[in-house]
Structure 1
């Protein structure tokens, strides 16, 4: 079959089939995807290279200036794809295209913490079958919602245990960033005790906690207008492409789809450049 842009896609017979609406993941967790990409790229992948400046040349190319473990490095390229967050992209493009920069600066990224806790199954009120639960803001519970991780995917908890991944913070609770790790865990545990756990549930095993000061971009009122402003600005920067989660969805599947859509656009531009130089 042909995907968008004419890119041929072939189903891998080793990938288990899923039913419509059914979720899937990797046995080793989502890190399996970037690790597989890194393995394919080999030494073309550069780690700890921080893009500090992007300049446009008279040759219609770009000079990307990087801070690296080996000092400053410069790379000249006909095309550049920026997958950075809006606030990073805004800073990089401010000297080149202020219209794009101002639109991206208006995007907000609230603070969110992800908390992974494990409880004995005997401490859970009932058998958890399903994806998880979301909590409306009017319920007096601070946690945003909980994914029933070990109910969704096999191998996420040993026998007799339930793994729960909760998210707390968000656009209406920026103060979560002022709490330390122990306070965040205690708040999530109190909230879970009101919903999923028995009254005498013991303290959980803390498997992971990650606080993102700037988490998921918000598609607030006027978002489409800002994206149109970005598109107008990009017309003056041929060969530059933006491919981040402030476009058309933040989920992993959305990001993968967006990458497949951008790739043929970049390839077509490079082919046009090659054709024009050969004339």
Structure 2
């Protein structure tokens, strides 16, 4: 197995499980270029702070992640987001605006908070309301940007969809395949025609306490950070390893080379609580591209999850780079820290020196699911079928989340061992 990220570790673990269940001997070799396992998952515990370099949680509603934790005996180690502080803000025109209660990623589901919101203009609100009467689209793969403009208008895209999607995929929404990333919204349009009505009906069927922003209560992490999962397992096939395949199947190598990747960085800053004027009564804020800031988003890590900062301190984590902001990553670490500190001074009123500073870079780490991605992956699957004993796993194929990568790795192991 090539690659010691979460998908490769999940594949290796599943292979050993299957071998044990069948009573067969399997010789397993896991190859990793770096001197540690985990890929983008890396947790540092220092001076009472728990600092995540990469992913800080996984989506609990996708079964593969929780199922793996149960099999590893880690379920009791899981902690959930603090639901007392579910608010998410959007930086617009120099200040933070609350995302209206009931706004589910792309569209509102509650009328009063939406109408009262300072985030959207009245023409923007009226344009979003047109979704209630617009006809269905013509079908076929469509960019997320085109979909949101068509259904909900420019303000919905620029002020909410783009910054929220940037936090998930670090992508340009006009290049991002809706079918590959958020097929739920295509299904909602087919079933209900209106996105607003479809999401409203879904929220009525499965009510949840507080639906502001992303569905944060569905995210979980570990008491001592995401590295607990890596430590309990013993990768993903990285993009660079694709060159190994040119001697196996040149056309497969070409197809894999068509998947592009974006780079990102995180800047984590620890402060004394008294140094932060903002109430920090939420999970963080996102920054639309049009605001001209380096930050894509900032997570209030010590609010989102317990135990992330020592008593009397807070931990904040800024995100930079991505497909639309990659140029900032040409700057050195000191310049990145200075940019983040300046922007946090504007947003949160922080002028004090941080107690802790950590910068982590992730070059070419986030696959970009461009239009046509589902068809490309189907073609890759057909090519793989002609190469016995070979399987691919990782974030480049059918989902970028931790649970997606676990499922990808386990499926690859089952294919190689003939269990699928």
> Normalization by structure 1: what TM-score?
0.70
Is the CA contact 1:148–1:165 (under 8 Å) kept in the aligned structure 2?
Answer: yes
Deviation at 1:269, TM superposition (A): 5.1
**CA distance in structure 2 between the aligned counterparts of 1:239 and 1:226, rounded to whole angstroms:** 21
**CA distance in structure 2 between the aligned counterparts of 1:218 and 1:203, rounded to whole angstroms:** 36
Find the partner of 1:181 among 325, 333, 357.
Answer: 333
Name the counterpart of 1:144: 296
Is the CA contact 1:99–1:229 (under 8 Å) kept in the aligned structure 2?
Answer: no
Are 1:120 and 2:182 counterparts? Answer: no
**CA distance in structure 2 between the aligned counterparts of 1:235 and 1:265, rounded to whole angstroms:** 10
**CA distance in structure 2 between the aligned counterparts of 1:27 and 1:17, rounded to whole angstroms:** 6
Name the counterpart of 2:236: 83
Deviation at 1:222, TM superposition (A): 2.2
**CA distance in structure 2 between the aligned counterparts of 1:251 and 1:197, rounded to whole angstroms:** 32
Name the counterpart of 1:30: 226
Q: Judging changes above 3 Å, is the alpha-carbon distance between structure 1 residues 10 and 159 closer, same or farther for their aligned structure 2 residues?
A: closer
Paired residue secondary structure (1:168) = strand
Name the counterpart of 2:324: 172
> Normalization by structure 2: what TM-score?
0.48
Find the partner of 1:248 among 398, 403, 412.
Answer: 398
Structure showing greater Rg: 1
Find the partner of 1:14 among 76, 79, 91.
Answer: 76
Q: Judging changes above 3 Å, is the alpha-carbon distance between structure 1 residues 135 and 206 closer, same or farther for their aligned structure 2 residues?
A: same
Deviation at 1:27, TM superposition (A): 1.9
Q: Judging changes above 3 Å, is the alpha-carbon distance between structure 1 residues 264 and 88 closer, same or farther for their aligned structure 2 residues?
A: closer
**CA distance in structure 1 between the aligned counterparts of 2:312 and 2:79, rounded to whole angstroms:** 28
Paired residue secondary structure (1:213) = strand
Which aligned segments of 4 or more residues in structure 1 are displaced greater than 4 angstroms? 7-13, 15-20
Q: How does 1:63-74 map to 2 (within 5 A)?
A: none
Deviation at 1:15, TM superposition (A): 4.7
Are 1:239 and 2:389 counterparts? Answer: yes
Number of equivalent positions: 220
**CA distance in structure 2 between the aligned counterparts of 1:155 and 1:164, rounded to whole angstroms:** 13
Structure with the bigger percentage of strand: 1
**CA distance in structure 2 between the aligned counterparts of 1:84 and 1:260, rounded to whole angstroms:** 13
Is the CA contact 1:120–1:161 (under 8 Å) kept in the aligned structure 2?
Answer: yes
**CA distance in structure 1 between the aligned counterparts of 2:334 and 2:388, rounded to whole angstroms:** 49
* Residues 257-266 or 232-241, more deviating: 257-266
Q: Judging changes above 3 Å, is the alpha-carbon distance between structure 1 residues 121 and 196 closer, same or farther for their aligned structure 2 residues?
A: same
Gaps of at least 5 residues in structure 2 are 1-62, 82-207, 209-216
Q: How does 1:194-205 map to 2 (within 5 A)?
A: 194-198=346-350, 201-205=351-355
**CA distance in structure 1 between the aligned counterparts of 2:230 and 2:281, rounded to whole angstroms:** 29
Deviation at 1:159, TM superposition (A): 1.7
- RMSD over aligned Cα atoms: 2.7
**CA distance in structure 2 between the aligned counterparts of 1:262 and 1:134, rounded to whole angstroms:** 35
**CA distance in structure 1 between the aligned counterparts of 2:363 and 2:78, rounded to whole angstroms:** 36
Name the counterpart of 2:283: 131
Name the counterpart of 2:417: 267
Gaps of at least 5 residues in structure 1 are 39-81, 271-279
**CA distance in structure 2 between the aligned counterparts of 1:187 and 1:160, rounded to whole angstroms:** 25
Is the CA contact 1:112–1:169 (under 8 Å) kept in the aligned structure 2?
Answer: yes
Q: Judging changes above 3 Å, is the alpha-carbon distance between structure 1 residues 8 and 221 closer, same or farther for their aligned structure 2 residues?
A: closer
Residues 202-255 of structure 1, C-alpha deviation per residue, up to 9 Å, x if partnerless? 122343211122121111122223212211211220111101101221111221
Is the CA contact 1:115–1:209 (under 8 Å) kept in the aligned structure 2?
Answer: yes
Is the CA contact 2:391–2:413 (under 8 Å) kept in the aligned structure 1?
Answer: no
Deviation at 1:182, TM superposition (A): 0.5
